Amino acid sequence: MKLWIKTINGEKITNSILYEIQGTYDPKNLIEYLTDICFGLDIPRPIIIDKHIKEMENFNHTIFKTSDFVESVDFDKLWIELAISKNKKSDNFYSNL
């Protein structure tokens, strides 16, 4: 599994990385993932509330705004999304017949 992390300023993506998770993804480990990710990006870690964990569980993504950070950051949003690879066979209509 991988997480796609983007920093967004205005409407532009200013930074984008893929973070590989060892084993299966668990939304309850979001703090651990974010600690590694933010250390690698050299940005402060945002405050994680239940809303962020529930969004990851229900929608496979969440957004952290500048108000979610204690320290100042040089972007408007930190977007985290579960990068799900699609199985090409299941995309083919005829393979399901």
Q: In what order do the strands lie in the sheet with 61-65?
A: 12-20, 2-9, 77-83, 61-65
What confidence category does residue 87 fall into, taking pLDDT thresholds of 50, 70 and 90? Answer: low
pTM of the model: 0.79
**Mean pLDDT score across all residues of the chain:** 85
Alpha carbon distance 8, 42 (integer Å):
15
Report the alpha-carbon distance of residue 89 to residue 74 in Å, rounded. 42
| Three-state DSSP class for residue 62 | strand
Q: What is the dihedral of CA 59, 55, 26, 16, to 10 degrees?
A: 80
Q: How many domains does the chain have?
A: 1
Q: Write out the residue range of the structural domain in which residue 51 sits.
A: 2-96
Per-residue pLDDT tens over the stretch 27-71: 788 889 999 999 988 999 999 999 999 999 999 999 999 999 999
pLDDT category at 97 given cuts 50, 70, 90 is very low
Residues of the chain with pLDDT > 70, as a percent, come to 87
Half-sphere exposure of 31 (CA within 13 A, CB side): 5
